[in-house]
Structure 1
């Protein structure tokens, strides 16, 4: 090559560098996520994403700020990570999956986000709609015919608040902001957009969006006359009771509930709690319900029950209020519109923001005559019940020779964490035990998935650590939940993205919950007589080693009570130093 030729090529390269970047639908899509405050895109990329990959690369080259891409080798983990981040911050994140295959692969996780009311934007590509190179992005791989389905959006329709298809770059920003407006409005939840390759490759003109015009709907209140009625019935009652499950999803609402409980000495029960709803050490805290097999005496005796943010306040065939009790129900979704069978005998149902409703009720009590003598008597009685529960819990936590009980394990974990530690609970058959014996006292420190598809814990821990890198995250789970979480993917990601957390496995070597379900229906059945439930993990796997192999996690297995505290202390120290740890604890078998 001559000097002249080299000069010409250099000039052409310089001209190319000066040319403006190609602005496509994908560029606008990514910009709109940035405008909406999305911090992360949890992505499992496929053949439908070349335009997005190009736009991300161009943004990096141009030093343009966009949400950070988190590579997720499995969609379940991607969705769970976005779930955890949004659960802790209230800010929806994006999940990017591959056509209908990736959409189906988030099945369990999208159930969790939908039932748990978590705002997440899911984007999937779609098979190209041209096949002879009519447009950029036309079909060029055999899989584009195999992955073409009639109704890809229909896969998500039962588990998303909104779904749509991106057909052009000219209004893509409006679609994204509209979708997120749905996601963030109560009841919150996931939304779904899809876009075929040709549409995402389309060159378009940049537009500016005023994000102030796309805010979620405002929190709703209870009509003043109805607040007066609630206050009157409440103050007339002799044995009032409050039940909640997820009021603490809004940590700011916990203080309003404490204020109400303090003022009238009202006991609080947490039913299937998936948030820290009320301080465990408060004298009005009267315990947790799960799949409770016996009648709760406080619920049976109550003449007034205020249900706040609860999908399942009780299980009627086992445990319910008296027919004479006055019941009020306040929730952002009081009809449970996505639950075909659901009803409770409530005098009134209110669709309202619980924090707003509690503020209204607390203010109304200032103008209602209250018998302080009655309140003081009730306070003393409920405090005594609280202390009895506390003493019984401490008794259950006492170590047993040669056996690590779930209660003792939970108590040991409680000793090593501080009040700011973020605890995830996916213990299932030990769910109530974990809630009870961890005993959280600070809002925002205990979380469940809010739904029923196992495996949320691993990705959620990553998402929560990304949201709060300065806090310690501890995941307390069963061995079944651990395997469902795809730990090899979870711990590879934890290492790559520096999101260390502690996993403690309550390992009973099987699925105890299906066994309990069977015994609940057939206590004297053949399965019980033969001890044939099909739920044992035999031979057992070395669960902690999975995390060590995939992500260099610190791995320990504990079988003896005397080893437990030492192992937990060591693992907690390792996590504080920046390395994930898994402690596999053998508890009594299924």
Structure 2
């Protein structure tokens, strides 16, 4: 809002009285002194032709150099109504008006401006933050070039169905663009580059338009299925003066976040009947849980049915300390099932079928004939045509298009009614005993596998995780990295018993997600009470964005990064090996273009250069405990820390 007037001379009225004379600025006098000489009496002399010509000329216009308020100030007013705590950016001139307004007019509070060293970090940070905080964070990108930098991170967030508010600047009117760089960084359609993988976008043509678009965008971003929204803030709208009479006409709509849709009661009754009468029901949870309540409901349903749960780890869905969490037996359970309930499947076809990666690809069903499939998902509500994240089509016997977490309490009620009518308690008890035994055997088998190569060098990933757990178990901790490239050891060895223990993977499998999402997740955990946050990331992932450590050090975001350093892009190394075998050429040259050595990278020095604590490289497994102890101590003292551990591939 404009500052209130004081009893002194108001700045705006003062500027209206300013005139230019001979290069000097002179304020018009308010009164005439008694000593001022009076003009002589008598007729005025007739002006010459030269004087008359000068009088007819327009006086020189005064260039306006300052203003009380700009359009970007109003944009900040709008953003302050959207429950945004942070906005992250790598600086750029197309949003210079907005940045200045946020940090001065907006006092750099709610949202607070966070400095990143790459646009992919800004967006990836918002990705990780939303998965912990449960609400959007904002990021802003610099015109055409910043949007292109950020595109991979936006795609990851879209595939992962994560809400976020994305802004960019653009110099719209061509007659007002500065020659040169302002043309290169401007565009006719600011969202064209990313439109196929955002949920919604807009280019507001007025400040009122911006207000309505921003509020609409936030609400759409949060509605299931969530996703990124993208809004272009025109530079002219940002920087033009906002006069009081114009400001009085502007209105900021009230934000209302929509409630989530629950499933159709008739479909839920039929689904409950199928589940209760099944001999071998199986639940597959994918992008399901958003909260502890969602986890608790899944446990409740599984116990009612005595049905094993396969957690596909897109979210923290099922505590692995519960005997009904049997993810490691997925293949066997799916093959035996006569009824499968799939909650927010990312790939229903892939849950039911296997595609063989051979010279000629074929697909084979994983399920037996006659199996009943129930899907509860918002998957079909956000499908675009170009990017193929929607996977291959698979029909379910009952396809309930609704938010699974919102729907599950109603399904539980329907199952309770069906179970009461059908009886069948003894069958559940028999199934329960078999599942308990299978769960215990799985734990014993995992421990035996983890002990293999315990003292080997390079260090096994199992020992890395067990040495880390020996220290973490005394803390309130959160793992903010995926485990697919670590043989899933934390899911197999650690007790993941609370919703915030794990946040899932990248969504789009774009390399570089891990360090940037970990930064945002650590920020949300810091605000939630200072948990010890751990990010175990590959060296290939970390090299995409090592500068996340500078942002962490600059803004006081403590978390522990452990480099699982196998000195390669090992996934790609295995792909080249597979192709070499398929072509019968041997694997000797598979390291070309896939390894990260000669020279080896000193990640501890990199961390120290960015202002974080750096430890390593750790090559002896007996040195792990001391390194982890130092790293955790640094994090608890409020610092970001990195430990480089030279490991086996996975």
TM-score, normalising length from structure 2? 0.81
2-structure distance, mates of 1:402, 1:65: 51
2-structure distance, mates of 1:450, 1:434: 19
1-structure distance, mates of 2:508, 2:443: 28
1-structure distance, mates of 2:11, 2:511: 53
Selected match of 1:450 from 507, 515, 520: 507
Aligned to 1:269: 310
Are 1:305 and 2:361 an aligned pair? no
- How far has the Cα of 1:217 moved from its partner? 2.8
Alignment CA distance shift 1:527-1:153 (3 Å): farther
Q: Aligned residues, how many?
A: 562
TM-score, normalising length from structure 1? 0.89
Selected match of 2:279 from 238, 242, 251: 238
What's the C-alpha RMSD, in Å, of the aligned pairs? 2.6
Aligned to 1:125: 169
Give the SS at the match of 1:52. Answer: helix
- How far has the Cα of 1:307 moved from its partner? 0.6
Give the SS at the match of 2:493. Answer: helix
Aligned to 1:55: 101
Aligned to 1:285: 325
Aligned to 1:462: 519
Selected match of 1:499 from 553, 557, 580: 557
Alignment CA distance shift 1:519-1:266 (3 Å): farther
- How far has the Cα of 1:16 moved from its partner? 6.9
- How far has the Cα of 1:109 moved from its partner? 0.5
- How far has the Cα of 1:59 moved from its partner? 1.2
Are 1:326 and 2:372 an aligned pair? yes
Selected match of 1:353 from 386, 394, 403: 403
Give the SS at the match of 2:454. Answer: coil
Are 1:536 and 2:595 an aligned pair? yes
Which runs of 5 or more structure 2 residues have no equivalent in the other structure?
Answer: 1-7, 16-65, 357-364
Which digits, 9 at most, give the CA deviation of each residue in 1:284-339, with x for residues without a partner? Answer: 111248xxxxx811111111111112213535226722232111111121476244
Q: What are the residue-to-residue correspondences of 1:161-172 with 2, within 5 Å?
A: 161-172=199-210
Which digits, 9 at most, give the CA deviation of each residue in 1:198-235, with x for residues without a partner? Answer: 12223241534342xx4233211222221111111111
2-structure distance, mates of 1:156, 1:451: 14
1-structure distance, mates of 2:601, 2:339: 50
Aligned to 1:4: none
Q: What are the residue-to-residue correspondences of 1:147-186 with 2, within 5 Å?
A: 147-186=185-224
Alignment CA distance shift 1:381-1:151 (3 Å): same
- How far has the Cα of 1:101 moved from its partner? 0.4
Give the SS at the match of 2:488. Answer: helix
Larger radius of gyration: 2
Which runs of 5 or more structure 1 residues have no equivalent in the other structure?
Answer: 1-9, 132-137, 290-294
Residue pair 1:428, 1:513 contacting (<8 A) in 2 also: no
Alignment CA distance shift 1:175-1:413 (3 Å): same
Are 1:373 and 2:373 an aligned pair? no
Q: What are the residue-to-residue correspondences of 1:500-519 with 2, within 5 Å?
A: 500-518=558-576
Are 1:81 and 2:116 an aligned pair? no
Are 1:583 and 2:648 an aligned pair? no
Residue pair 2:218, 2:229 contacting (<8 A) in 1 also: yes
Residue pair 2:72, 2:101 contacting (<8 A) in 1 also: yes
Q: What are the residue-to-residue correspondences of 1:566-577 with 2, within 5 Å?
A: 566-577=626-637
Aligned to 2:450: 397
2-structure distance, mates of 1:281, 1:428: 19
- How far has the Cα of 1:389 moved from its partner? 0.9
Residue pair 1:307, 1:330 contacting (<8 A) in 2 also: yes
Give the SS at the match of 2:323. Answer: coil
Aligned to 2:70: 24
Alignment CA distance shift 1:258-1:409 (3 Å): same
Residue pair 1:428, 1:478 contacting (<8 A) in 2 also: no
Moved more, 314-323 or 197-206: 314-323
- How far has the Cα of 1:589 moved from its partner? 4.6
Give the SS at the match of 1:556. Answer: strand
Residue pair 1:245, 1:274 contacting (<8 A) in 2 also: yes
Give the SS at the match of 2:326. Answer: strand
Moved more, 431-440 or 262-271: 431-440
1-structure distance, mates of 2:74, 2:214: 10
Moved more, 102-111 or 459-468: 459-468
